[in-house]
Homo-oligomer: A and B are copies of this chain.
């Protein structure tokens, strides 16, 4: 093909024979094209057609030589952008071809080929924005770590040094008996370090430091999560139930041995038929005045205690929740210390213990069932801080309502709803550390002729991981806030703090569930191998969304609390207050819901903290008011309140979610304000913006329905989320390094 006009078809021949998106149909398109070119003679047309006869493919050598010819001709010609440009290049810049430009442009169209894309095939040394992008940290990770650890830095360091010791090498046996023994041994070491009794009063050997206890729980969660749960069952649930529900006589008798793990025990609340609805527990504790004892009894199979940690193997005693019966009168659920096994591990008479067997995760924890067949315990074993039986055999309590007494008792145990979300947070940090570091190293695909690209450079990969990283930082500060509220609680704040803890427990554990799912998929096949630990992290935390209160049930409680607060504040407001509220909302309408604001898309506005917080607050207020209105309407229309609340359950979740998101954003913003280091402040601000905008994007349907934003704005927010992911990516590795998780805990071969 010496004729330069015939030569101009070479790129088409090459593409049609090699591109994997072109099919038989395109051969026909090309044939028709050739036949319709009047400037070609019949013979030329025939010669050209012979090159694209599907029954006579060119040889591989022919194809290769075409490719080489094209490559040579366009080498170093940056201006080559379409098939026509190649044609020109091949012809040695034959000016007479100009007339063919529209013809080839049309053909590109007909073939469905992007000229520029097709040309990629011939560029050998292709490079690109995407492939050149890489890890480049903009801040000092040490400073960020100090900010994260805060006042707990010392205890965090101590815990890390212990769990990094050789004896804490992970147990890899799949035999749950081996695993359970190992976890118990680890707990003993931790007890010796005085980690377990950290929250107990000093006079019983404790450290009197609840803040440190929570920090220990969280830091231990970088290691094996069965260990954390076993630790939490023993020192938190079992020990703290004695401390919170018992009195002096119980403290002096039990706390020291619990803290040293000499006395392993359980927290026996849940029954097979009563988990979420613990008020309905059926186990009974019947008082016998003649011999000053209680008889603990399981009335039917479904009233057995179930899922009880420490029960199947190690527990010697348990705090048992049971309905107190005196003279056939039911005084509601109370707590009793009941022995399960003697020190030789032999069951106490009347106690039957089952093994929950293999679980999805946490197989180092010996969960079991417990049934009681008229087990008699002395009167002093009643944990009698909130209720007791007096010398006359009469019930006594400073809280006359059984209902309120029970919820007061539960309220004292709210610490568990702080420990669990903090443990979940640590697991999310581990997952992200493994996944982001791997994604920075793992290369796959790349521009034609260029080298493969770290998968963290792919926008979808960033989308999957970087908003989750931002959320993890946000949750970190929100849990700090929750912990501080709890540590400095006043009696009058207890309901609010309980609701906050219930909500943050759900928020954090669901967040961890989602994050570890992304981590698993983002690590591909490597994420499926147990050695890389996503398996354990994911399966161990899977139950976090259920225990310490089913998340969905807790979210309903949070929403009910918000609703009740809302009604009260409405009540307190009185007429003037309501006018003010309406006025406030009208102000919102003017300042935030005017066409200028709802369509505002400048970067400065989209990245404005105040815009974010106002948007979150608006959603919080509006969902709450709307749920309240709807419930009232349903009841007014004749529905039973119970049914009305059922109808709005879905909305109630939104109410709780909007409240929690506002808290999380607000606390993240407040925390950043106090940061002094400019670079750290900068990157944290980026994360905070990303957290805010990613939530708004998730809720964009709501914002559009509400009219708070218009389409132009939500679309701009989507682009900004993408941009922030891209901007944060070079810092992503440093951001997970700032978690400062011991390498021996991460222990994933993929990041070695």
**Which A residues are within 8 Å of any B CB, using their own CB?**
17-21, 23-26, 29, 57-60, 62-63, 106, 109-114, 116-117, 120, 126, 128-131, 172, 174-176, 270, 273-277, 280, 306-307, 331, 356-361, 395, 397-404, 407, 443-448, 452, 457-461, 463-464, 491-492, 494-495, 513, 517, 520-521, 524-525, 527-531, 534-535, 538-539, 542-543, 545-547, 550-552, 556, 560-561, 564-572, 631-632, 635, 639-643, 646-650, 653, 700-701, 704-707, 711, 714-715, 718, 722
Contact = CB atoms under 8 A, between A and B. Distances in A.
Given A172-B358, A357-B531, A463-B650, A400 B17 contact: yes
11 contacts: A19-B404, A26-B568, A63-B400, A63-B401, A116-B635, A120-B640, A128-B642, A274-B444, A460-B649, A528-B542, A647-B722
Contacts of A23: 492, 494-495
Given A128-B643, A495-B21, A535-B359, A60 B459 contact: no
B531 A543 contact: no
Contacts of A464: 552
Given A276-B445, A452-B280, A639-B129, A109 B570 contact: yes
B404 A112 contact: no
A18 B277 CA distance: 18
B128 A568 contact: no
A620 B534 CA distance: 35
Contact of A571 (B112, B539, B567, B700): B112
Nearest to A172: B358
Contacts of A273: 443
Given A359-B530, A528-B546, A529-B357, A642 B447 contact: yes
A236 to B, nearest CB: 18
Contacts of A653: 460
Contacts of A443: 273
| In the A-B complex, the 7 residue pairs with the closest CB atoms | A112-B567, A112-B568, A18-B401, A110-B571, A701-B701, A704-B704, A705-B711
Per DSSP, are chain A's interface residues mostly helix, strand or loop, or mixed? helix
A130 B491 CA distance: 36
A56 B565 CA distance: 26
A113 B57 contact: no
Given A174-B358, A521-B546, 10 more contacts: A17-B401, A18-B404, A25-B492, A128-B640, A128-B643, A358-B531, A459-B648, A460-B556, A521-B550, A704-B705
Given A395-B60, A565-B112, A642-B126, A715 B705 contact: yes
Given A21-B564, A641-B120, A524 B546 contact: yes
Copies in the complex: 2
Interface centre among A26, A174, A531 (most CB of B within 10 A): A174
Given A358-B172, A444-B275, A531-B357, A270 B706 contact: no
B357 A530 contact: yes
A535 B459 CA distance: 32
Contacts of A641: 114, 116-117, 120
Nearest to A107: B571
Given A568-B26, A572-B110, A643-B128, A360 B650 contact: no
Contacts of A131: 642
Nearest to A448: B642
Contacts of A62: 400
A547 B530 contact: no
Contacts of A706: 711
* Residue among A307, A331, A356, A401 facing the most chain B CB atoms (10 A cut-off): A401
Which of A359, A528, A539 has the most C-beta atoms of chain B within 10 angstroms of its own C-beta? Answer: A528
A695 to B, nearest CB: 13
B711 A17 contact: no
B109 A571 contact: yes
Nearest to A117: B641
